[in-house]
A and B are shown apart, each in its own frame.
Chain A
Amino acid sequence: MSTIIAGAVWVLPLSFTLLALSAALVLVRLIRGPRAADRVVAIDALTMLAIAAIALFALATGQPMLLDAAVVLALMSFLGTAAFILLFRRRGRGPDEVVTWNDRKPAADETVAAPPDRERMR
């Protein structure tokens, strides 16, 4: 097993540093994000950064088994995003009351009754 890259002394630490900086920026968005969708986006971006970091770590330590963890994390990222998307659906308590998960304030002139196609999607 040979893993050869040019300038490994500085390329790998620099890449790790850039990834850590990116994770810090995305974390700010995850904490601050005003809507639920912003937080889901931030979680998605964080898992992608984690996949990249695991791949770099596998290269730095020369252990190919870590890449299996990267594959599984890629799959779990998709499943996790899909699970969060299910929480976006409108949940109606009654015929005249529709509650959204991310408590949007409906506009004054906006009708809050869900159209029938949304009812069928449930």
Chain B
Amino acid sequence: MSNGLLPWLSSVLLLLGALIGLIGAIGVLRLPDSYTRMHAASKAGALGTALILAGVAAASEGAFALAALFAMAILLATAPLAAHAMARAAHRAGITPATGPLGDALADEDGNGHTERNPAASAPPTAGKR
């Protein structure tokens, strides 16, 4: 067991997960608007954490590995749900995305009216904030 492939697989998974988590954190810090930050947090963050949990599962045996896989399953089931609901709720609350040439498809579909383009993509409106 100690000379097999699993210890190396576990190390690679742990380091890869931590690296992807770091990339997601950089995205959360630097991307221009709320929706792209959601994208970085919910995709890269969930993938990094899932890879770390898979590495823990590969390094251990029995109930330990099963618990890690269970945590990974729960994370992969709930993180996209939370991100989707959060994006819909933010759009309903009137947070405009920094749209590209294709415009805001959800606003056109809902008819909610927030179809104005946001020209300052790197500077969200901060005039009236606390």
Contacts and interface: CB of A to CB of B under 8 A. Distances in A.
A67 to B, nearest CB: 4
Contacts of B41: 26, 41-42, 44-45, 48
B63 interface: yes
Contacts of B125: 34, 104-105
Interface string A5-27: 11110011011001101110110
Nearest to B10: A5
Measured as residues with beta carbon below 8 angstroms from the partner, the interface class of chain B is 35 or more
A78 B81 contact: yes
B89 A85 contact: yes
Contacts of A78: 78-79, 81-82
B53 A70 contact: yes
Given A29-B28, A68-B67, A38 B34 contact: yes
A48 B2 CA distance: 30
Contacts of A52: 17-18, 21, 48-49, 52-53
A25 B10 contact: no
Contacts of B24: 22, 45
Contacts of A64: 60, 63-64, 67
Contacts of A34: 124-126, 129
Interface string B95-130: 100000000000000011100100000001111111
Given A74-B78, A81-B82, A110-B113, A90 B93 contact: yes
9 contacts: A4-B7, A8-B11, A55-B56, A71-B70, A82-B85, A88-B92, A89-B89, A104-B95, A111-B113
